[in-house]
Amino acid sequence: MANSKLLREAVVILGAGTQGRRLAYMWSSTGKPVHLVDQQESQLSQGLDHVHQLRTSSSSISTNWGKITTSKPSSLKEELEKAWLAIECVPENFALKQSVISQLDNLAPDQTILASNSSSYVIGEIIENLSLNNPRRVLSAHCYWPPETPAIEIMGYEQTDPSIIDLLVKKSEEHGFTPYRVRKPSVGYIYNRIWAAIKRETLLTLSEGVASPNEIDAIFRDVLKTPKGPCELMDVVGLDVVLDIEKHYAETRKNLPSEPQKYLQDMIDAGNLGVKNSRGFYKYPRE
């Protein structure tokens, strides 16, 4: 099964938002083609512009770039015929992710690996009530902020073919990722389980008026010697995405405090989404 996948060279990415365009950059770094799919033409053009910026930056990870093509979902079946890997990178909405994975399973050849980039929903949750043609080729493959943070967590579920995980670990390394194998299904993978506790306590601290975002970030950087503090990191992720993830944790784990969700909702209602719209905990220059 693994060898037949290697005959197909392309990677198809559904979603040309912040994460999708960065994944397009990474998966095109060895000269192989990437096809970026999105319903919005503006997302596709902005995605290509962002990939070009990354490729021409001083920290570019390659000089051998694959061609990136774009389309709306109407031509998805044709593009999947060329792909060994298809990644859903749509917003953190459970019903949407279910719909996309179901569509990929119906359209993709049996040899194509189907991966979810969801940061909080594990693949077993997403496909639980779906009737898939080939459930053994689906898994979770969550990235953080490539290429600056090249970690990728690869996690299957009870039916995932182990050879698929082995292959994705190997191919991820070749494309500049640092793969981590999650050995059991885990909501939040490895890092996000730890990060969830940090951001939740950060939001609680803010809601109680104990410290400002700047003070929290400053002491966090001072003690742990990290380049960014938790408020800065949440701005990068997007506060709407952080809220969606926090809601999911609250659904799966009992007795979590409600204040972090309310604090985030108030910020979002005031128009603060983070880096993506130039204002969150901090203000940012517009791209």
Query: What integer is the mean pLDDT of 46-74?
Result: 96
The answer to whether residue 186 sits within a structural domain is no
Residues 137 and 204 in one domain: no
DSSP state, residue 141: E
Percent of the chain with pLDDT over 90: 88
The answer to whether residue 31 sits within a structural domain is yes
Q: How far is 244 from 228, CA to CA, in rounded Å?
A: 22
Residues 34 and 132 in one domain: yes
The answer to whether residue 28 sits within a structural domain is yes
Q: Say whether pLDDT at 6 is over 70.
A: no
Chain-centroid distance of CA 25 in Å reads 13
CATH number of the domain bearing residue 254: 1.10.1040.10
Residues 39 and 145 in one domain: yes
Are 97 and 88 spatial neighbours (Cβ–Cβ below 8 Å)?
yes
Which tokens is 258 given?
Answer: 């409600």
Which residues make Cβ contacts (< 8 Å) with residue 85, sequence separation at least 6?
5, 11, 12, 27, 112, 113, 115, 168, 171
Which tokens is 48 given?
Answer: 């290509």
pLDDT single digits (tens) 156-205: 999 999 999 999 999 999 999 999 999 999 988 999 899 999 999 999 99
What is residue 49's three-state secondary structure?
helix
- Which residues span the domain enclosing 101? 2-181
Residues 241 and 163 in one domain: no
pLDDT single digits (tens) 138-151: 999 999 889 999 99
Q: How far is 83 from 80, CA to CA, in rounded Å?
A: 5
Residues 85 and 171 in one domain: yes
pLDDT single digits (tens) 20-31: 999 999 999 999
Q: Tell me: cis bond preceding 147? Omega within 30 of 0 counts.
A: yes
Q: What is the pTM of this model?
A: 0.83
